[in-house]
Structure 1
Amino acid sequence: MKITKEKLLMTALNLFSKYGYDGVSISYLANELGVTKGAIYRHYESKQAIFDEIIQRVVKNDKDVAIKNDLPTEREGEYFVSSLDDFISFTLDQFSFYAIDEFGSAFRKMVMLEQFRNIDMIELYRGIFLTGPIEYTAKVFKSLINVKKLKGSDAEQMAREYYSSFFMYLSLSDYTSDKIKLIQELKDQLLIFKRNHGG
């Protein structure tokens, strides 16, 4: 039986999100797919290569969503951001990816699970879901403050306030089937932030 690279990748990610990276062997993955280990090795040289491609997909999604919303794709340096509205749209797109999209939500569950077992996963989790987004948001807000599109002077504090809503609703998404309602509630919270801090 032939297997597509896409099906292999998604199956591996779903298994990693349930049993952890170390809990899934190539043999287990092959058995789950009903193929030989050789069929998997024709697509990927190792389990690590599968994992690396999963990370590359997530990074690509982040960049694509940033470009779609006219935001910087790099998380270093100073940069221009056109509006808080663009950043709110970016935030809602990111929420949809990590809460609703099959690939994004399985990835988030995998990293959440693995952070308690693997020191490298702790850093990955922080970079994608904790300190990384707050640092990026603070830089965006600093840019908006500089051009008087955001009121305030403490971009880091505002970033923590803004991101706390995102993180709370992302956590809630694991416990509800009505994720569309959560998107609307998150949007309402972000619009309150805009009302309070918009320039």
Structure 2
Amino acid sequence: MTDTKESILKAALGLFAVKGYEAVSVSQIAGTLGMTKGALYKHYKNKRDVFDSIFTYVCELDAERSRKSGVPEKEFSEMPDSFSDVSPKSLKEYMLSQFHYWSMDETACNFRKMLTLEQYKTTEAGTLYEKVLTDGPLTYIEDIFREMIIHGKLIKKAQTAGS
């Protein structure tokens, strides 16, 4: 990605995080960077293309953190065998890196803020919010735990009465 393209994504995401996706125009994004709309259009077709590129970038960063931590890069349905290879150490590294990323990284924080603002405005935004911030991550971790238990890497404690 070129510096200009990355600058456009960061500026757009910063605006989306404060005002919401729908409230930001291409003119505002270009103006924030001191460029014309025409110059922005040399890099991205439209505002949706900017958003899609932001989402792709966030997904690439997530896959990179997964690889570095030793956990699967995709959902269980896409690569079930790799879920049985996760070690407790890898899972711990991944969860710590995710916590740090989603709470400290500027890109992740702005993406999270934008999705939080937009989640009730459109069905697509609500679905994306769930996939990225709620149901998706919970299902992913649940799949890892289940496979670790099945493959003897974690021991499931039986619940006792009163606990």
TM-score (norm 2): 0.87
Q: Shift of the alpha carbon at 1:33?
A: 1.7
Query: Paired residue for 2:161?
Result: none
Query: Paired residue for 2:91?
Result: 87
Q: Following superposition of structure 1 onto structure 2, how do residues 119-198 of structure 1 map, counting pairs within 5 Å?
A: 119-152=123-156
5+ residue gaps in structure 1? 155-199
AA matched with 1:57:
Y
Q: Following superposition of structure 1 onto structure 2, how do residues 13-24 of structure 1 map, counting pairs within 5 Å?
A: 13-24=13-24
Q: Runs of at least 4 residues of structure 1 off by over 4 A?
A: none
For 1:8 and 1:64, locate their aligned partners in 2 and report how far apart those are by CA, in whole Å. Answer: 22
5+ residue gaps in structure 2? 159-163
AA matched with 1:132:
G
For 2:157 and 2:127, locate their aligned partners in 1 and report how far apart those are by CA, in whole Å. Answer: 29
Query: Paired residue for 1:189?
Result: none
For the structure 1 residues 83 and 18, does the alpha-carbon distance in structure 2 shift closer, same or farther, using more than 3 Å as the test? same
AA matched with 1:51:
F
Contact conserved, 2:84 with 2:151, CA < 8 A, in 1?
Answer: no
Query: Paired residue for 2:42?
Result: 42
Which has the bigger relative contact order, CA under 8 A and spacing at least 6? 2
Query: How many pairs does the alignment contain?
Result: 152
**2:54 is the counterpart of 1:54:** yes
Q: Give the alignment partner of residue 117 of structure 1, picking from 118, 121, 134.
A: 121
AA matched with 2:33:
L
Q: Shift of the alpha carbon at 1:76?
A: 2.6
Contact conserved, 1:81 with 1:140, CA < 8 A, in 2?
Answer: no
Could you say what secondary structure the match of 1:40 adopts? helix
Contact conserved, 2:10 with 2:107, CA < 8 A, in 1?
Answer: yes
Q: Shift of the alpha carbon at 1:153?
A: 7.2
For 1:57 and 1:30, locate their aligned partners in 2 and report how far apart those are by CA, in whole Å. Answer: 20
Superposed CA deviations along residues 94-113 of structure 1, whole A, max 9, x for unmatched, are: 11111111111111111111
AA matched with 1:7:
S
Contact conserved, 2:9 with 2:50, CA < 8 A, in 1?
Answer: yes
Superposed CA deviations along residues 64-123 of structure 1, whole A, max 9, x for unmatched, are: 111111111120332323312211110111111111111111111111111021211111
For 2:114 and 2:131, locate their aligned partners in 1 and report how far apart those are by CA, in whole Å. Answer: 14
